[in-house]
A and B are shown apart, each in its own frame.
Chain A
Amino acid sequence: MSEFLTLTITAMVPFLFVAQGTMLSGRAGIFNVAQEGLMLLGAAVGYVVSLKAGGNVVGLVAAALAGALVGFILSWATTSLRLDQFVVGLALFFLAGGTASLLYRVVIGNDEPPRIAPLPDLVFGQDALVFVAVALSLFLWWWLYRTDAGMRLRSVGENPKAADSLGINVTRTRLWAGTVGAALMAVGGAYLPMVFSGVYADGIVAGRGWLAIALAFFGGWRPQFILAGSAFFAAMEVLAQRAQVSGIGVPHQFVSMLPYVATLVVMVFAFRWALVPQFLGKNYDRESRIVG
């Protein structure tokens, strides 16, 4: 049982980073849908840089920077250029995923990939990022609801025109929220080779990025509920792996399906109470003349 718990906590970390990043961008109105690609990019950059520069910390920082760049492109294209968020997000999903694959092939080629050192345990058999992820969630909750800057960010996602009319710079807020959010997503991806596999592979993310979007809705775009929700998603993932290994009489495909089914079921009900930011995915144009 304690092993199950340990595994669940570890599995929770990527979900937490990615879903909190989604939440942070979304609360400012940027609906990022490139999570899957950003995680792949983070995993590839994190792996390659850790390997070549010799250190997981450098790898994590590099992954975060790569994610930030993609997030900045998304935010810039949807604020300054007012392009459709969904279309740009999907394009960046392909771009980031393809870049990840390319980077791996260029650096490693077809050789047997060397394993990078796993993240060292800090206490209780858990690595430092576990604590960072949980602390980040609590910090985001405090920051969003207790600080002036958090209130400004929320107002931009709820009603950018109101925020603008009160002197809040909507474009700047969205730029940095989208950038930081994507950086968090890439860190969530970089965690995968550093803890689970030791190497990068194109299938390493395995849909976690898409699940993280569902998780943001599931958690009602609130950091504290996303923290709880990611534990649930992680437990489902571990359960599915268990079933695959031990064979509990149920086809493992069925158990692997559970997180997705659970997501679907939850979404049907969650939409009744989920508080989605009013301007999630919608661009803001000050001079648009909808109101005559």
Chain B
Amino acid sequence: MSGIRKTFGPVVALDGVDFTVANREIHGLLGGNGAGKTTLMNVLYGLYAPDAGTVEVDGSPVTITSPKDAITAGIGMVHQNFLQVDVFTVTENIVLGTDSTKLVAPDGSTQTPAQRIAELSSRFGLTVDPGARVADLPVGVRQRVEILKALYRGAKVLVLDEPTTNLTPQEVDDLFSSMRAIVDDGMSVVLITHKIRETMEVCDRMTVMRDGRWIATVDKADTTADDLAATMIGEIAGGDAEAAALAQTAQVSLGEEELGEASLDTSSEAEPEGAAADTVTPTPARVTVRGLTVAGKGGKPLVDDVTLSLRPGEILGIAGVAGNGQGELAEALTGTRSATGSLSVDGAELVGRPTAAWLGSGVVYVPEDRQRDGILPGAGITENLVLGSHRTRAKAGMINWRAARTEAVAAIKEFSVKTPSAATPCGQLSGGNIQRVILARAFAHNPKLLLLHNPTRGLDLRSTQFVYDRVRRAASQGCVVIVISEDLDEVLALSDRVTVAYSGRLVGEFARGEANPYDLGRLMTGVGA
């Protein structure tokens, strides 16, 4: 691919990007969120029409205007959000759209679709149950179905978009060995990721992208994790201090374990209260949760008997594969979903009380789906910041908008929200800026319990760092923080204590430094530690 350019309205998503994948290699496409990795591959797969640029396969130029052209050219892609028909079976999803009458086996004989699927899954270690409905399958298996879909169509180049999201460390190992088997069979694999550790572990070469531009392509043998981190972050305008902080966040959020540990030490130094609590007398709990349960359909609770005790300034991390009751747990812990049991903040019982009472007691929720649950997309930043404090703010039912605007302008400055004005509708902001608005609103409530669910998903590096800084600062001021995240590296980096959500329950508990990713991985799949 050369000179690829793609714009979405005024936004330049790709700017003259060159990208080459060699035969029989695993090529890492590395960059932070918003770097344009997925957009580039969507152009290759015919989902986005580029404004400029050319694509060549095996030396000859090809025109790709739809996924059909891409499939014909031997390109297969596994999207981060699986493109599967939920109600179809594994086999139906794999054969959908293909002509099942002309299948030729490697030995030249004809094959039935079932034989082809069986052959591919045994050859590459991709075990699936062909008759199962995909909606009933766990993420790891659905991913194998996606890979089989591409292989079934005779892909020569397989693109995997952030394939390790939501996989346990064990499943990641299996995936990587399947990738190696695919490459050994004569195909090529492109691994889109923002985690340096993954590229160092499995890739032969990697290309780094930043802000829609090609930055560098290097062989694994010629580079180190530190070099890659520096390349990904690029030049920092804000001087050495900001560069150092950003590098630290990069190492955490990019999954660089050893460096992640280093940043943990720094952050605990920044929390003298927390450190003191370990050596002197234990501080009394600020937040106490007992037997919190959310009933589900068919007798199986969505949140099952959750009990927690959290000291001021403590950060609790809850890891787990998506769909294990995290969303319901987050809502139950913040009073936005009715639950039974008990939750008290500074001794005040909140379960069963209206949401306003929870907010008034300092319980603040930063939801997973920012656009849907976090903001009014059509309303301006000022209006969104007023939400939640509208009751206390109003005098005789009237809101002083002039004062609210002044506060909003100050908040925009403090939280570095990039926006044309305080009246700009929130829906027009980027994900990172929406999250900054939500955090500004959250901190305006003087939180005592701050709950964040996947707080950095889809955010660029700077916004991720911003979220981490703010979370640590809140904790150092005595706020109890609960971070629910499907990103294991994030949970390990931020938390004083780590537990795992599995099937609505919280299982296992590790203090900082004691948690091993593989132990957590076993808990995430329901296998006892």
Which A157-174 residues sit within 8 Å CB-CB of chain B?
Answer: 158-159, 161-169
A162-B67 in contact (CB<8A): no
The 0/1 profile, CB within 8 Å of B marked 1, for residues 279-292 of chain A is 00000001101011
Interface residue from A151, A168, A278 paired with B92 (Cβ < 8 Å): A151
A148 at the interface (CB under 8 A from B): yes
Q: How far is the CA of A77 from the CA of B200 in the complex (A)?
A: 50
Query: With a CB–CB cut-off of 8 A, which chain B residues contact A163?
Result: 85, 96-97
| Interface status of A208 (Cβ within 8 A of chain B) | no
Q: Which residues of B contact A169 (CB under 8 A)?
A: 66, 68
CB-CB contacts of B70-98 with A at 8 A, as 1s and 0s?
01000001011101111110001101111
Q: Is B80 within 8 A of A155, CB to CB?
A: no
B87 to chain A, nearest CB (A): 6
CB-based nearest A residue for B458: A292
B38 interface residue, CB < 8 Å from A? Answer: yes
Tell me whether A287 and B149 are in contact (CB under 8 A): no
Cα distance A161–B66 in the bound complex, in angstroms: 12
B83 touches A162 (CB 8 A): yes
| Chain A residues within 8 Å of B87, by CB | 158, 275
Residues in A whose Cβ lies below 8 Å from that of B223: none
A165–B67 CB distance below 8 A = yes
The reply to whether A152 and B97 contact each other, CB–CB distance below 8 Å, is yes
- A166 and B46 CA atoms in complex are apart in Å by 11
In the bound complex, what is the Cα–Cα distance between A275 and B86 (angstroms)? 12
In the bound complex, do residue A158 and residue B71 qualify as a contact, i.e. CB atoms below 8 Å apart? no
Q: Check if B458 sits within 8 Å of A165, measured CB to CB.
A: no
CB closest residue in chain B, given A155: B85
Set of chain B residues within 8 Å of A286, measured between Cβ atoms: 47-48
Given contacts A159-B83, A278-B86, A287-B47, contact A292 B38 (CB under 8 A): yes
B66 close to A167 (CB less than 8 A): yes
The answer to whether A151 touches B96, judged by C-beta atoms less than 8 angstroms apart, is: yes
Contact assessment for A155 and B79 in the assembled complex, using a CB-CB cutoff below 8 Å: no
Q: How many residues of B contact A (CB 8 A)?
A: 34
A165 engages B100 (CB within 8 Å): no
Whether A291 pairs with B66 at a CB distance below 8 angstroms is: no
- B45 in the interface, Cβ–Cβ < 8 Å? yes
In whole angstroms, what is the CA distance A166 to B8 when docked? 24
Which of the residues A158, A165, A287 comes within 8 Å of B88, measured between beta carbons?
A: A158
Inter-chain contacts of B99 with A (CB < 8 A): 148
Q: How far is the CB of A138 from chain B (nearest CB, A)?
A: 22
User: Which residues of chain A come closer than 8 Å to B47, judged between CB atoms?
Assistant: 164-165, 286-287
B431 in contact (CB, < 8 A): yes
Q: Which of B308-332 contact A (CB under 8 A)?
A: none
Q: Give Cα A182 to B34, complex, Å.
A: 44
B83 to A167, Cβ gap below 8 A? no
- Closest-CB distance, A157 to chain B (whole angstroms): 9
Query: Given known contacts A152-B96, A287-B48, is B85 in contact with A165 (CB within 8 Å)?
Result: no
Give Cα A60–Cα B301 distance, bound, in whole angstroms.
Answer: 56
B100→A159 contact, CB < 8 A: no
**A166 contacts B149, CB within 8 Å?**
yes
Residues of A within 8 A of B66 (CB): 164, 167, 169
Flag B17-39 by CB within 8 Å of A: 1 or 0 each. 00000000000000001100010
Q: Are A158 and B86 in contact (CB under 8 A)?
A: yes
The residue of chain B having its C-beta at the shortest distance from the C-beta of A287 within the complex is B48
Q: Per-residue 0/1 for B179-220: is the Cβ within 8 Å of any A Cβ (1 yes, 0 no)?
A: 000000000000000000000000000000000000000000
Contact between B8 and A289 (Cβ–Cβ < 8 Å)? Answer: yes
| Contact status A165-B38, CB under 8 Å | no
Most buried by A among B83, B100, B149: B83
In A135-164, the 8 Å CB interface with B consists of: 148, 151-152, 154-155, 158-159, 161-164
A275 to B71, CA, bound (A): 31
Q: Which residue of B lies closest to A277 (CB)?
A: B87
Contacts of B33 in A (CB 8 A): 292
B98 to A, closest residue via Cβ: A166
Q: How far is the CB of B344 from chain A (nearest CB, A)?
A: 37
**B80 and A291 contacting across the interface, CB-CB below 8 Å:** yes
Q: Report whether A159 and B67 are in contact in the complex, using a CB–CB cutoff of 8 Å.
A: no
Pick the contact of B81: A164, A167, A278, A291 (CB < 8 A).
A291
- Interface residues of chain A, those whose CB is within 8 Å of chain B, are 148, 151-152, 154-155, 158-159, 161-169, 275, 278, 286-287, 289, 291-292
Nearest 8 pairs between A and B by C-beta?
A: A167-B68, A166-B97, A162-B83, A158-B85, A165-B83, A168-B97, A165-B67, A155-B85
Given A275-B87, A286-B47, 13 new contacts (CB under 8 A): A152-B96, A154-B88, A158-B85, A158-B88, A159-B83, A161-B83, A164-B66, A165-B45, A166-B71, A167-B68, A167-B97, A168-B96, A168-B97
List 21 A-B residue pairs with CB atoms under 8 Å apart, sorted by A's residue number. Answer: A148-B95, A151-B88, A152-B97, A154-B85, A154-B88, A158-B88, A159-B85, A159-B86, A162-B83, A163-B96, A165-B77, A166-B149, A166-B153, A167-B71, A167-B97, A286-B48, A287-B47, A287-B48, A289-B8, A291-B79, A292-B458
